[in-house]
Amino acid sequence: MNWLRKNSEVIILPLIYVVIFLLQKNKILNNYIIQIIMLAGVNIIMTLSLNLVNGMTGQNSIGHAGFMAVGAYVSALFSKIIFSAATMPPALQTVFFLLATIAGGIGAAIFGFLIGMPTLRLKGDYLAIVTLGFGEVIRSIIRITPTVGAARGLTGIPKLASLFWIFVFVTITIYVCRNYMDSAYGRGCLAIRDNEVAADTMGINTSKYKVQAFVTSAFIAGIAGSMYAHTLRYLHPDVFSYTKSTDFLVYLYAGGVGSISGSILGAFVLTALPEILRFMNEWRLVIYGGLLVVIILFRPVGMFGGKEFAFLKLKTGGIRHIGFSNLFQRKSKKTAVANEEISQ
Amino acid sequence: MKKFVLLMVVLSLSLVMGISAVSAEKTIPDEINLGMISTISGSQAIDGQNMTDAIKLVQKELEENGGLDVDGKKVKINWIIEDCEAKPEIAVNAAQKLIEQDGVLAIVGPNNSGDTIASAEISQAAKIPQITNTGTNEAVTKVGDYVFRACIIDPFQGKVVAQFAYENLGLRKTAVIYDNADTYSAGLDKAFVDAFVALGGEVVANEAFSGADVKDFSAQLINIKNANPEAVFVPAHIDNIPLILQQIRGMGIEATLLGCDSWDYAAMPELVGLDVIEGAYYVTGFSPDAETAADFVKAFTDLAGYRPSFCSAMAYEAAHIVLNAIQNAETIDGTGIRDAMMKTELDLPSGHVTFDEFRNPIKSGIILQVRNGVAQYVGSVSPSK
């Protein structure tokens, strides 16, 4: 019983799924709401992936949609073009969906390695420029490749992703990120974020740690891409533009950069918000933008900056967050208090 | 907690059964919800504005008549307009919302092919007809049998040009110069050549160049000059057209120039040079100068304060195709409206409209001729099947 109280997420996480599932079965949640939850799940995975680079390692990736594009196209290529999974029996479909997802992740990770290897050896913001360029290059390559539909987009991808699988992958990603942060690798990354020179002096192989975090992040982004492709069933290179990368940055910074709970909450709330605001018609994106400004003004560290859900508390303790306040080299009172709470 | 969940399950189950027990005999409802998805925000907000104004005009017409007349009963039509931000996933959300939350019986739009393909998967699964106004990608209507389009597609344009050249201009020998690295250009070339040969004409030179960065077309144009055609068809993109046309005249080829809807820019005569393009003909999907469009253009201009674009005209037509189908449907539901849409026989601003078995419209192409530097309406051509 005591163990259960300490590890309540073992019950709570499956319970969340069961509740959503029951509500869906009984038509209380219609397909519209389920669709939003699924897209929010994809965005949560992407934001967690971005958090590994921007939040944990202190590097700047501003073209993360490029890795998502690689994952999406590789997995769609796998499930639609190489093995036409649409005509298979359901059990086999699931197997191929998982294989396609892993293939998408590996594809993105390979690109992550190729990009990260040379640029992460340098100190400074080179990664920002390179990832930005990478996103555009990937789009241009897709646009001229006839096998994946070129500029017309890839249609007829089998609908293999379901609420269940997205939920499973979100859960796995949360735990991978939590444990990564809690491991020696993660603490190395946190050290690099806080002071790269000091970390180097302490004997941390900074470029190795940065590349590891970046490749892991790219792999997770590839997984999210596969979920996206098999939910939406249609891919177009222009979907993965610079604007898409910015969306994830916004989710991350509004949710709380460096915080896993913040990434989850930011992605979920900001995916659902424009849909909730649909009754405002053409004003809805104005309100959406306005709310973002309010969040950043009143909570510069993001909604969950410097905090974690209880079940995600790290065993090693002490996550110090970075947020917009650091960008302006100014610490609000709240930030200082939040810092103290955590370090205690 | 368990008891509560069980209670909820039983309650909602009985609710669902109760709803489905109501019989589905043919009834005409008092109100019908129809949806429209377009890019109200984002990079193509101008199209969203055009489409919203078109729907406002349709709404105004309906209000003047006191509603839509279905078998003598005036039915109130509610248009629900949703934004898709030119993003496929938001278009999917919008379609889901319209179908699940608002219970629409048909959807007009979106204006982009990509958004339409993504959202059409939803309406196809829900058996709700969807008609895009300007989604020209062939894959759009291949999503399923509930997906329609209001604008003409590329192969159709090729046919229209061929028929116009053969029958109206009386030409027998034509040449084509096209870009074989571009699907639009290559598709139009094939459609034109097939149609022109089928009519009994001869394509004396069919010359290809490769890629938009080609700037010198003299190799192709020498062959065309030697073949001595009566007309040259140039299905190219806007960035190539001025160079090709100038070099055609520079070579001393005096043949009539024929073009497609990529030529349809107000600034085109200026770009190409007035003396070069003078007298050239091209086809497009809609012209505000056509006599069939006069009433629509006037009503739209009065309401919106600007002349309708291709996008708004097609949104207006799509809305009328849906309304007409509701009037003729045997049952007022998605399937009934779809079946009625397949049998559309309607006179609209761009001409008479019917649908082929692939749910692409069969209607007339509008022929324009450049006279004194301005594209002017010449006539409408409907190709025989």
Q: How far apart are CA A128 and CA A61, in angstroms?
A: 5
How many CB atoms within 10 Å of residue B194? 15
Residue B369 pLDDT: 92
B59–chain A Cβ distance below 8 A for any pair = no
A236–chain B Cβ distance below 8 A for any pair = yes
Asked if pLDDT for residue A343 goes beyond 70, the answer is: no
DSSP 3-state assignment of B152?
A: coil
Percent of chain A with pLDDT over 70: 89
Segment A215-231 shows an average pLDDT of 96
DSSP string, B168-215: IS---EEEEEEETT-HHHHHHHHHHHHHHHHHT-EEEEEEEE-STT--
Nearest CA in chain A to B135: A152
Asked if pLDDT for residue A29 goes beyond 70, the answer is: yes
Lowest mean pLDDT among A59-68, A269-278, B12-21, B53-62: B12-21
Segment B107-116 shows an average pLDDT of 89
Residue A220 pLDDT: 97
ipTM over 0.90: no
Segment A82-95 shows an average pLDDT of 84
Q: How far apart are CA A185 and CA B320, in angstroms?
A: 63
Q: How far apart are CA A91 and CA A253, in angstroms?
A: 40
Contacts of the segment B132-137: beta carbons below 8 A, 24+ positions apart: B132/B318, B133/B51, B133/B108, B133/B109, B133/B311, B133/B314, B133/B315, B133/B317, B133/B318, B134/B47, B134/B310, B134/B311, B134/B314, B135/B110, B135/B111, B137/A152, B137/A153, B137/B113
A153–chain B Cβ distance below 8 A for any pair = yes
Residue B5 pLDDT: 57
Per the structure block, which two tokens stand in for A199? 């970390």
Residue B34: C-alpha distances to residues A174, B76, B84, B230 (Å): 41, 11, 16, 50
Asked if pLDDT for residue B384 goes beyond 60, the answer is: yes
A146–chain B Cβ distance below 8 A for any pair = no
Question: Number of C-alpha atoms within 13 angstroms, CB side, residue B204?
Answer: 17
A26–chain B Cβ distance below 8 A for any pair = yes
Residue A5 pLDDT: 67
Residue A326 pLDDT: 44
DSSP string, A73-120: HHHHIIIIIIS-GGGS-HHHHHHHHHHHHHHHHHHHHHHHHHHHHHHT
Q: Do residues A214 and A120 make contact, with C-beta atoms less than 8 angstroms apart?
A: yes
pLDDT tens digits, residue range B26-43?
Answer: 678 999 999 999 998 877
pLDDT tens digits, residue range B261-273?
Answer: 888 877 788 888 8
**Averaging pLDDT over each range in A149-158, A332-341, B306-315, which range is the top one?**
B306-315
Q: How far apart are CA B188 and CA B157, in angstroms?
A: 7
Could you tell me if residue A181 is left (phi over 0), alpha (psi between -120 and 50 degrees) or otherwise beta? alpha
- Sign of the alpha-carbon torsion through B190, B191, B192, B198: positive
Domains and CATH numbers, chain B: 28-152+291-349 (3.40.50.2300), 154-284+366-381 (3.40.50.2300)
Split at pLDDT 50, 70, 90, the class of A344 is very low
- B147-149 and B107-108 strand pairing: unpaired
Asked if pLDDT for residue A329 goes beyond 80, the answer is: no
Query: Between A35, A155, A284, which is nearest B92 by CB?
Result: A35
pLDDT tens digits, residue range A259-270?
Answer: 898 999 999 999
Contacts of the segment B246-250: beta carbons below 8 A, 24+ positions apart: B246/B272, B246/B273, B246/B276, B247/B216, B247/B217, B247/B218, B247/B221, B248/B221, B248/B224, B248/B276, B249/B275, B249/B276
Q: How far apart are CA B354 and CA B363, in angstroms?
A: 7
Percent of chain B with pLDDT over 90: 50
Asked if pLDDT for residue A319 goes beyond 60, the answer is: no
Whether B143 and A155 lie within 8 Å, measured CB to CB: yes
Q: Do residues A68 and A240 make contact, with C-beta atoms less than 8 angstroms apart?
A: yes
Split at pLDDT 50, 70, 90, the class of B23 is very low
Residue B383 pLDDT: 75
Helix (H) or strand (E) holding B347, with range, is strand B346-348
β-partners of residue B178 are B208
Domains and CATH numbers, chain A: 2-343 (1.10.3470)
Query: Between A236, A278, A285, which is nearest B88 by CB?
Result: A236
Asked if pLDDT for residue A313 goes beyond 90, the answer is: no
Segment B99-121 shows an average pLDDT of 91
Enter the pTM of the model.
0.80
Segment A18-23 shows an average pLDDT of 90
Asked if pLDDT for residue A172 goes beyond 60, the answer is: yes
pLDDT tens digits, residue range B203-216?
Answer: 999 998 887 678 89
Segment B174-184 shows an average pLDDT of 84
Whether A22 and B9 lie within 8 Å, measured CB to CB: yes
Question: Number of C-alpha atoms within 13 angstroms, CB side, residue A273?
Answer: 18
Per the structure block, which two tokens stand in for B16? 């669902």
Split at pLDDT 50, 70, 90, the class of A107 is very high
Quote the mean pLDDT of chain B: 87
Q: How far apart are CA B322 and CA B344, in angstroms?
A: 9
Residue B24 pLDDT: 46
B88–chain A Cβ distance below 8 A for any pair = yes
Segment B270-296 shows an average pLDDT of 88
φ/ψ of residue B26, rounded to 5: -70, 115
Q: How would you list the strands of the sheet with B231-233, edge to edge?
A: B202-209, B173-179, B231-233, B256-259, B281-284, B365-371, B374-381
Q: How far apart are CA B232 and CA B219, in angstroms?
A: 15
Q: How far is B9 from chain A (nearest CA, A)?
A: 7
Q: How far apart are CA A341 and CA B206, in angstroms?
A: 77
